[in-house]
Amino acid sequence: MDEKFDCIIVGAGPSGATAALRLAGAGLNVVVFERGKPGSKNMFGGVLYSTVLNKLIPDFWKEAPVERHVIRKRFSLLSSTAEAAFDLSFNAFDSPPYNNSFTVLRARFDRWYAGKAEEAGALIVTDANVEDFIVEDNAIKGVKAGIEGGDVRADCVICAEGANSLLAEKSGLKTRPGPSSTTLGVKEVISLPKEVIEDRFSLEDGQGASFEFFGTALGGAAGSGFIYTNKDTLSVGIGVPISVLKEKGLKPNDLIEGFKGHPAVARYLRGGKTEEFSAHMIPEGGYKAVPTLVKDGLMLVGDSAGLLNPSLFREGTNLAMASGLLAAETVIDARAKGDFSARTLGGYAERLKKSFVIKDLLRYKDVPAAIGSIPGLFSEGPEAILEFLQGHFTVSEKSKDELHSEIRKAFRNKVSMKKLLLELYRASKALR
């Protein structure tokens, strides 16, 4: 390609497509390089958070391939045989803008979203893997895409390549995240008739549910499992830090099979057929793992910048879209000034700091370290708590006083109260 662009974007995921949509909408000459077809290489758990998208494309859900809007949220603690759950259902989330929470399948959603950027005027080049940057005087001046004529120049580059951030590392802005900052997500899409999903999850037409599971069902490993409802499929998966997989010698495939086989999970999947299996990395290092975000001619957005909320809220898509939008606003300013140096592009980092993106990452900055320091809460803790609850509700001819004193004793023999309370305190402090 001989043409020089105002901006090159690497990756057509939520962050890259948002930047492309905004820049093309402002009349800039933008090209997006995507190593596959939009969505073909992407997966995620399943809930798209859409505050930013709804601003860019008001009432987008009327045309976008969304599956269901989430009105029911359930958090479960699992032991190997039992479950304690906290189940929430909100009628207010059943009308526009549907709490900005929609289940989607990325293969469909990303294709649609990249199409909107294309309609706005962005050039999307598919099957084009960007291998490196063009660098002059330590400034990024373009990219080397692995296609014919793939050396392409631009005033600046937005790196939206996702969690496996090889280019961000090549740029020198980032080093390879450690195994405790990276979670491996493994997911299956399981088909079931629409009516079965609605009956099983107590949903009406269009309504969706997000179920999150913690505890011993993941082989006692720190991590979590999920079920999200689509129209006629379920997204079912687990996420476990790579450090934990290594330390415990666990195999992701065994973990997801164990999770699916847990009685509290299996009842939702009964009769379903696995249609897809995929795995992907999740950057869960939080605020402390966010690298320097800009250098001359370059900005990092979305997962490549580690912008993912690692707390119970599990938001990634909205942070990715927000960062893509703020990077695009900064490019528009830089073009007006005719200056793409780190000094001007630094406006992006300033905008992020003032937004919910960095504010939320800062608030939950201690979550990644806390997860590593509370192993008991993922193993003996849930077992002991659920055994205690089971004992509490067991009907017998012993007096309640006798029964309760027995189960308290058994509980104390199983777990160190001091350790459990300390771990609960650490977890609640990080998640507060």
Nearest by Cα to 216 from 207, 208, 225:
225
C-alpha dihedral (217, 222, 223, 225), degrees to nearest 10 = 10
Closest approach of ligand FAD to the CB of residue 225, in Å? 11
Binding ligand FAD (rule: CB under 6 A), the pick from 69, 314, 335, 365 is 314
Residue 395, number of CB atoms within 10 A of its CB: 6
* 327 near ligand FAD, rule: CB under 6 A: no
Binding ligand FAD (rule: CB under 6 A), the pick from 208, 223, 237, 368 is 237
Binding ligand FAD (rule: CB under 6 A), the pick from 20, 66, 117, 130 is 130
Instruction: Provide the token pair at 2.
Output: 């001989």
**Smaller CB separation from ligand FAD, 259 or 411:** 259
Binding ligand FAD (rule: CB under 6 A), the pick from 19, 21, 34, 118 is 34
* Whether 210 contacts 46, CB under 8 Å: yes
Site for ligand FAD in 186-225 (CB under 6 A): 187
Instruction: Provide the token pair at 131.
Output: 């291998």
Closest approach of ligand FAD to the CB of residue 26, in Å? 20
* 10 near ligand FAD, rule: CB under 6 A: yes
User: For the purposes of burial, counting CB atoms within 10 Å of the CB of 131, is it exposed (0-12), middle (13-18) or buried (19 or more)?
Assistant: middle
SS3 230: coil
* 382 near ligand FAD, rule: CB under 6 A: no
From the list 32-40, 54-62, 326-334, 385-393, the region that binds ligand FAD by CB under 6 A is 32-40
Closest approach of ligand FAD to the CB of residue 233, in Å? 15
SS3 159: strand
**Smaller CB separation from ligand FAD, 68 or 187:** 187
Measured distance CA(270)–CA(265) in Å, rounded:
9
Q: Compose the 400-419 pattern: x for residues touching ligand FAD by CB under 6 A, - for all others.
A: --------------------
**Smaller CB separation from ligand FAD, 166 or 407:** 166
Residue bearing tokens 């045989």: 81
How many residues sit in the footprint of ligand FAD (CB under 6 A)? 40
* 315 near ligand FAD, rule: CB under 6 A: yes
* 162 near ligand FAD, rule: CB under 6 A: yes
* 302 near ligand FAD, rule: CB under 6 A: yes
Measured distance CA(167)–CA(281) in Å, rounded:
16
Measured distance CA(116)–CA(127) in Å, rounded:
19
Nearest by Cα to 194 from 67, 292, 320, 19:
67
**Smaller CB separation from ligand FAD, 110 or 296:** 110
* 156 near ligand FAD, rule: CB under 6 A: no
* 68 near ligand FAD, rule: CB under 6 A: no
Measured distance CA(317)–CA(384) in Å, rounded:
36
Closest approach of ligand FAD to the CB of residue 159, in Å? 9
Nearest by Cα to 113 from 228, 168, 34:
34
* 49 near ligand FAD, rule: CB under 6 A: yes
* 14 near ligand FAD, rule: CB under 6 A: yes
* Whether 327 contacts 299, CB under 8 Å: yes
Residue bearing tokens 């490196």: 132
* Whether 284 contacts 223, CB under 8 Å: no
Measured distance CA(357)–CA(320) in Å, rounded:
9
Instruction: Provide the token pair at 133.
Output: 């940057």
Measured distance CA(71)–CA(200) in Å, rounded:
15
Closest approach of ligand FAD to the CB of residue 393, in Å? 33
* 15 near ligand FAD, rule: CB under 6 A: yes
From the list 37-45, 92-100, 355-363, 403-411, the region that binds ligand FAD by CB under 6 A is 37-45
* 45 near ligand FAD, rule: CB under 6 A: yes
| Helix or strand run (H / E) with residue 247 | helix 242-248
From the list 46-54, 193-201, 262-270, 346-354, the region that binds ligand FAD by CB under 6 A is 46-54
Interface residue list for ligand FAD (CB under 6 A): 10-16, 33-36, 41-42, 44-47, 49, 129-130, 160-163, 167, 185, 187, 237, 239, 280, 282, 302-304, 308, 314-317, 320
